[in-house]
Amino acid sequence: MTDRFRVRDASDLQEAIAWAAAESVPWEIVGRGTKRRLGRPVEAARMLDLGALSGITLYEPDELVLRAGSGTPIEDIEAALAREGQHLAFEPPDFSALFGAGGAGTLGGLVAGNLSGSRRPMAGSLRDHLLGVEAVSGRGEVFKAGGRVMKNVTGYDIPRLMAGSFGTLAVATEITLKVLPRPEATTTLMLGGIATAVALPLLRDLAASAEEPTGLAHLPQSIASEIVGLQSLGSKGDVTVVRIEGTTIGVADRLARVMARCRQHDQRTEVAELPTDAAKHVWRELGGGAPFAAESFRGWDVWRLSVVPSESPAVAARLMAQGGCALYFDWAGGLIWFGHSPRRGLHEAVRGALVAHGGGHATLFRASNDTRRQVPVFQPQPDALAALSRRIKQAFDPRGVLNPGRMYAGV
């Protein structure tokens, strides 16, 4: 049974990590614990709970800056921003359905994973919106990095370095983010009856167009049938969804041009505008891999693959040839969510598909503990990059007391 220590404040956290470094006792770092199944199982018997480091400590809407404790629930931050007509433009994904967890998690967990949703290719990743952090390194040393504005840096850009480090370098106590005004108008189109071979070139065409869509996804029938927001409109067959945002007048004009482009690709395209609430639900489910939470996919391994968009059809065809699997496309085809019934050795086929078609990155997002111990969960690093990662880890956490093994075995 894991020993759990709930820190009361930043001073508590610093003392706990300093003790761990002195005694070489590793900690598993958690907020709400909603993403414990993402990454390899942590090689630690003690858990450091950051849930008390919660609350918005600075919010200046006119300056587009927000600072909050790392244990602050994401929904609290989104609610505060919504009251001022603002949002987190990178669209924080909610993996609660995929992992069977309660709630969308905390700000610290979001930053640790550098996690972004369907708007990421257009708005940038979380890392691009991260201004500063206050944290405790694995040495037990408190440090601050960054600030309240974007600026050029020399040496390590530590806030960006921590984004995506999964708590293996330092533990954030406070995080400062850039926020942006929420679009005045948002419209999501549902395009029915477009085959994948036609839909993916259409999405790439729209992504490169002046219409600047902020959401481009394609769902084969097996996935579309699992999304409530699409079921309610009686969708059948494959479904393509396109989101347009901006001023009310601008969205109306661009919407007409998008429809015209769609019909150029396929004259038989069925077009419907999703109601606002249904559209929000659809994008939340797509960004968080929620279709694979359905009963028909229970127990399946789930991957998140970043690919060259033009190579997406070939990668998908190679994956589907494995049998017993399903997938859908986001980011205009640049992101593939892929699920399959558990089978030994298929991880090699997944990564082999990327190597054969332009490269990319494959993350095993959901699997059993045994599988996550045996299979490289994150994309294996080239030797030079792996050596650099080890040196950075040594600089921040020489005793290996923060989330050991979370990203790579023995690290």
Between CA 408 and CA 223 the distance in angstroms is 31
Residue 403 lies in a domain: no
> Do 138 and 207 lie in a common domain?
no
Percent of the chain with pLDDT over 70: 94
Residue 29 lies in a domain: no
Segment (H or E) for 180: strand 180-181
Q: For residue 264, what pLDDT is reported?
A: 78
Name residue 377's amino acid: V
Lowest pLDDT segment from 23-27, 190-194, 216-220? 190-194
> Do 155 and 196 lie in a common domain?
no
Q: For residue 172, what is the domain's CATH number? A: 3.30.465.10
Number of domains in the chain: 3
Q: What is the DSSP string of 91-106?
A: -----HHHHT-SSS-B
> Do 303 and 366 lie in a common domain?
yes
Tokens, residue 4: 């759990």
Average pLDDT of span 20-41: 93
Give Cα separations from 107 to 63, 89, 160, 327, 385 (angstroms).
Answer: 20, 14, 15, 28, 27
Average pLDDT of span 317-340: 95
Q: Which of 110, 128, 114 is nearest to 70 (CA)?
A: 110
Tokens, residue 78: 């989104």
| Residue that finishes a domain, picked among 245, 272, 287 | 287
Q: Does residue 1 carry a pLDDT above 60? A: no
> Do 125 and 222 lie in a common domain?
no
Q: For residue 232, what pLDDT is reported?
A: 53
> Do 214 and 262 lie in a common domain?
yes
> Do 66 and 149 lie in a common domain?
yes
Q: For residue 368, what pLDDT is reported?
A: 93
Tokens 């558990």: give the residue.
342
Q: Which of 70, 74, 66 is nearest to 31 (CA)?
A: 70
Tokens, residue 184: 């005045």
> Do 172 and 210 lie in a common domain?
no
Counting every residue, how long is the chain?
Answer: 411
Q: Does residue 160 carry a pLDDT above 50? A: yes
User: Sign of dihedral through CA atoms 154, 159, 160, 161?
Assistant: positive
Q: For residue 316, what is the domain's CATH number? A: 3.30.70
> Do 339 and 278 lie in a common domain?
no
243-249-255 Cα angle (round to 5): 35
> Do 256 and 296 lie in a common domain?
no
Average pLDDT of span 174-193: 94
Tokens 């309660």: give the residue.
102
Tokens, residue 390: 């080890």
- Pick the more confident residue, 2 or 408: 408
Between CA 35 and CA 250 the distance in angstroms is 38
Tokens, residue 163: 């984004």
Q: Give me the domain span that covers residue 346.
A: 290-383
Q: Give the pLDDT band (50/70/90) at residue 103.
A: confident
pLDDT digits (tens, 9 = 90+) for 344-358: 678 888 999 999 999
Q: For residue 272, what is the domain's CATH number? A: 3.30.70.2190
Between CA 126 and CA 310 the distance in angstroms is 24
Lowest pLDDT segment from 179-183, 327-331, 350-354? 350-354
Write down the mean pLDDT value for the chain: 91
DSSP state of 73: B
Between CA 325 and CA 355 the distance in angstroms is 20
Residue 3 lies in a domain: no
> Do 271 and 301 lie in a common domain?
no
Residue 205 lies in a domain: yes
Residue 232 lies in a domain: yes
Q: Which of 237, 248, 188, 238 is nearest to 216 (CA)?
A: 188
> Do 294 and 214 lie in a common domain?
no
